Structure 1
Amino acid sequence: MNAPVYLDYNATTPVAPEVADAIEPYLREHFGNPSSSHIYGLRAKAAVAQARGEVAALIGARPEEIVFTGCATEANNLAIQGAARALSGTKRHLITSAIEHPSVMQPFLKLREEGWEVTILPVDRNGRVSPIAVERAIRPDTALVSIMHANNEVGTIQPIEEIAQITRPKGILLHTDAAQSAGKIQVIAQKLGVDLLTLAGHKFYAPKGVGALYVRMGTPLTPLQVGANHEHGLRPGTENVPFIVGLGAAAKLSRKRLLKAQAHLKTRRDQLHAHLQAEIPRLALNGHAEERLPNTLNVSFPGVSGHKLLEAVALDLAASTGSACHSGDHAVSGVLGAMKVSTARAIGAVRLSVGIYTTPADIDRAGMALIAAWKVLRA
């Protein structure tokens, strides 16, 4: 029997063959510690440096502005808690949004427990944060604003450049979680105007267990862990050389094929949307119609539960109702709740995210399975 069509690329991506090939020698032959001064260590050190350059090139940064981490969650924690610690002597206020990933929201809630004041901004019905709301929330003691670049559930892209035009002149640090956007759309740190930016390897065809944090030159940041002076003193511990090499290879691959990949993703996404719209009356799109990731389709199926629908098509389709971090929780999505989506519509929501390996045949199979299952459940 054919494996189910995979349409959960926002949860994780498969490792690209080119990335796996790049990693393999560093699991077998080039196993040295990058801190060692002999030839094995020097080879590993050179590989880490090359990967740092590739990740920097993907986001238009300098290599020395890239800090490798174990994942995006670690990078988000380092950015948020590290910035707060560095500025705690003079600042006591932080700003974020109501639709952030838990790896952003939880550090803010932890800091609130420690005495920081945290403003959580609402979003509009499309899932966008208003730059005007950011400006109104800013206080003289605001240390950091953290707004995700693109939402992981509905794909809505945030106006980060406009927000940066507000924060930068005031000397307020700006962080964006770009885990979902890197590799799908152009992500240039300087153009966005951010001071801190998070990347997740497994969202753009590198392995799980590796990420990176862009730290703009001169940005104050206190490390969360202590040990040796790895990663510019911000992240101690022997580098995961094979996966860092993989992250570099994935960054290079993403940069080279970005425009072609964007067109492919949008075509497959829109093909699926059109197929579903043609057969399902009152199918509702969640998220911004235009300003969203080219691969993300979050739609509500009327009169059914999204969870039940996906259970019904499990042999043909692998997808999710929302963030993988809440996959075991059948409650209404917090993102859709923040967007003021009705309970009935939120219950019927399904996130369908395509990838570079998604084919027209995959879309046809997934669409037919969803339509057939919806009709059965409605009956």
Structure 2
Amino acid sequence: MEGLSSSHGETSLEPYSVSASSLSGLAGQRPARRAGDAGVRGVSVRARCAGRRGAPVPRGANGACGRRGSARPLHEQLHLHRDRGSLTNLMFAVGIAVYALLGYYVREWRYLALVSNTLGVIFFFLSFMLPESPRWLYSQGKTAEAEDVMQYIALGNGKERLNLKLKPSTGTLRKDESPPGILHLIKHPVLRWRTVILMYIWYVCSFVYYGLTLNAGELGGNLYLNVALYGLVEVPAFPLCMFFIEKSWSGRRKTMMWFLIFAGFACIFTMFLQKNAGLLLSPTLLALCGKMMVSAAFNIAYIYTSELYPTVLRNAGLGVCSMSCRFAGILAPFVPTMKSLSPSVPFVVFGISGLSAGFLTFLLPETLNKPIAESIEELQSPKYRVLKDEKANQLEENT
């Protein structure tokens, strides 16, 4: 069982996610992505050399160098359709099941770490083939390079060469100006409250997600099968996200709000069920449903947060939110110990957290079919603050 032994130290390296996000804002998102990949490999190798039990993959994959904080914005900006971002998160769920399968056949954790990280080394070299984010290039005033990247994407999609000419960005920095940093998340009043709310939502998503995942060892039966089931139960969450977040009557905000609320109710209702109530009414089934819901909310959080921040601060915002959710990962392992008070106390704690985050989501603006701001100045523009449909825009132009 050494290969699947739990690691509660995943948060020890997460502050580097803010540094990596800042790096991607300054040097570009592609170099930061490669730095994150190299950091993951380095931490895993160092953990193997140190001989720490159960340390390699969980610590390296979850904590090192802000890999999520730099990879996700680049992916979002290279794809116009957000469902492809959901498919990326789907691979996390599949990876949990595959890791359980590897752990079943490779019991020695050092060899398990070596096998698990081999693909990461391959993808590190493949990352050199990724183009830079055209949005980032455009926000930095590199319109010619942004045009080349967009031509490359169009040709890769089988389109003819475009007659494309980008207008200079209004938020382009002058040579004597320093690029926006993390402090701008505090200085700007709109971004300040938006960041506080998003940090709490990310905190709750991680808190409930990891808290429910820790129940895998308490289900009884085969540990490897339980870990695989806790990964596969997330798979239905992603098609639900792809369906609801693109509908005008739901959008990003309402979908994430209801997923968090349903996850909270699923956790709270477990206190009213008996363990021997049968499969359909068992606390285990409700806990699995709760994890599916919070996984869906977690997936939307990546997409929604990317759209709420302007391009020049998107990496910094995602890095701060990612750091806050790692603190939840520190606290989550201690919540199940509250069963000494009452078996239902941990689920009540998770349930109240989910409900509170769901209601706070209602304070955020909707981003569906809304232009994404490139600079901080564009946040003051009414067209970035008020959601209008195409007919309303046409009426305004005619008048």
Superposition TM-score, scaled by structure 2 size: 0.26
Superposition TM-score, scaled by structure 1 size: 0.27
| Structure 1 or 2: more helix by fraction | 2
| Structure 1 or 2: more strand by fraction | 1
